[in-house]
Amino acid sequence: MAQEAAHYAFYKRAATARLRDNPRGQRIVRFMLRKLWSIVGSGLHSAENADRLYCSLVAPDPSILEPMDAAIARIPGLEGLHLLRDHFEAARARTAA
């Protein structure tokens, strides 16, 4: 767990440093995250199974996503981006259909 925390901290510091005072980079990263980002492991299962698993983990308490989305939003250029919440809402809608 400590090693994962160190990796997380490193990548967050690197992203913050590279995107600070870099509006073009911020726009590119924001665009790429909105269009290409997906939940880790989602490519290993069918979309239906991945949605069902994600919803079963998050549905009991969707507020668990807020601190993660907030951490992403503190990176320059990613303010207001809610990747996890938006993914959960879309997955919930797909599983309800």
Q: What is the pLDDT along the chain (97 residues), one digit of tens a residue?
A: 788 889 999 999 999 999 999 999 999 999 999 999 988 878 888 889 999 999 999 999 999 999 999 999 999 999 999 999 999 999 999 998 7
Report pLDDT for 36: 94
Contact status, residue 65 vs residue 54, Cβ threshold 8 Å = no
Rounded distance between C-alpha atoms, residue 14 and residue 27, angstroms: 17
49-58 long-range Cβ contacts below 8 angstroms, 24+ apart: 50/91, 51/91, 51/94, 51/95, 52/95, 54/87, 54/88, 54/91, 55/88, 55/91, 55/92, 55/95, 58/88
Report pLDDT for 40: 82
Contact status, residue 88 vs residue 54, Cβ threshold 8 Å = yes
